[in-house]
Amino acid sequence: MPGYRTILRKAYLFTFIRGLRIWTTYKSQAIFTVLQWVLPVFLYFFVASYLTSQISSSVSVFGGSYIAFFVIGLAFQGYVSAMVASLSQRIRTEEEMGTLEHLMLSPTRPGAILLYTLLWPILLNSMEAVIVLSIGTFLLGVHLHVDVAGTLIVVILILASNGGIGMMAAAYTLFAKQGNPISLFFSTFSIFISGVVFPVTILPASVRAIAYALPLTYGLEALRFTMLDASSVSTILPLIEYLGIACIVTLPLGLYLFRRAFNFVRNQGTLSGY
């Protein structure tokens, strides 16, 4: 078992050397990334001025403020993209660079590489959450009443449950090389149906059925309670239980599928192919 110093060293290398240093090297890309965080907040702020009464009534449980509703959604939806899309994107990049085989056959176990790879996207999207929440609080008049313990628990569960889905997406990329329906659905389409910017209750019944099967739907609902109404863990316990079940299902399944895909491409000799 590696010592804690080795773990911290690898976490530092993956996060600040490979992640932050590369990100800050391309300054224009870094600026555009921040703009992608900021501009949607103001876009939906103007949309809020023309809301129908249907949407307004749908967010009454969160104080009736649609602005507060979408600010929480935009602040934390990035974690899903980070957990689901980052792994498959990194594998695809390593394949094209011809370094995937060296990375996966290094002394660091493949499962540990997946975890280290996620550290930088999580840190980057934490920066996004802070910026979006700051804009909402100081410019758009959102009043946060945060239960810190409940919020942290929900965020961890969102990361864990979507981390399992991310490993499934990474497994698909290892196997199929190009095109990833898992990543596309969970990092793109699910954003529109999980209550990020529109309440799930206004969706058609068939779409709501899909929305209520996604961990993000319950995670965002729980975060709105803990951050806008300071709801305690006991108050949102049913939502936490669902997220816990999602973790129990997705994490082992994702790890199993990734190992199967890794062993398959290694045995086929296509680990370095793209």
Question: Residue 228 carries which side chain, given as an amino acid letter?
Answer: L
The whole-angstrom distance between residue 124's C-alpha and the CA centroid of its chain comes to 11
Tell me which long-range contacts 218-221 makes (C-beta under 8 A, separation of at least 24).
Answer: 218/242, 218/243, 218/246, 219/76, 219/154, 219/155, 219/157, 219/158, 219/161, 219/243, 220/72, 220/73, 220/76, 220/77, 220/194, 220/195, 220/196, 221/195
Instruction: State residue 78's pLDDT score.
Output: 84
pLDDT tens digits, one per residue of 236-274 = 999 999 999 999 999 999 989 988 988 888 787 766 666
What is the per-residue DSSP string for 53-102?
A: HHHHHHTGGGTT-HHHHHHHHHHHHHHHHHHHHHHHHHHHHHHHHT-HHH
CB-facing half-sphere around the CA of 16: CA atoms within 13 A: 5
Instruction: State residue 44's pLDDT score.
Output: 64
Instruction: State residue 53's pLDDT score.
Output: 53
Instruction: State residue 221's pLDDT score.
Output: 93
The Cα–Cα gap between 80 and 187 comes to 6
Other Cβ atoms less than 10 A from the Cβ of 109: the count is 11
- What is the average pLDDT score of the chain? 82
Other Cβ atoms less than 10 A from the Cβ of 102: the count is 12
The Cα–Cα gap between 184 and 128 comes to 21
CB within 8 A of 46, min separation 6: which ones?
none
Q: What angle do CA 138, 140, 144 make, to 5 degrees?
A: 65
What is the residue-level pLDDT of the chain in tens, covering all 274 positions?
567 778 788 777 778 777 777 777 877 777 877 777 776 776 666 666 555 455 555 665 565 578 888 899 989 988 887 788 788 887 877 777 777 767 777 777 777 777 788 888 888 889 999 999 999 999 888 899 999 999 999 999 999 998 889 889 888 888 877 777 888 788 777 777 888 888 888 888 888 889 998 999 999 999 999 999 899 999 999 999 999 999 999 999 998 998 898 888 878 776 666 6
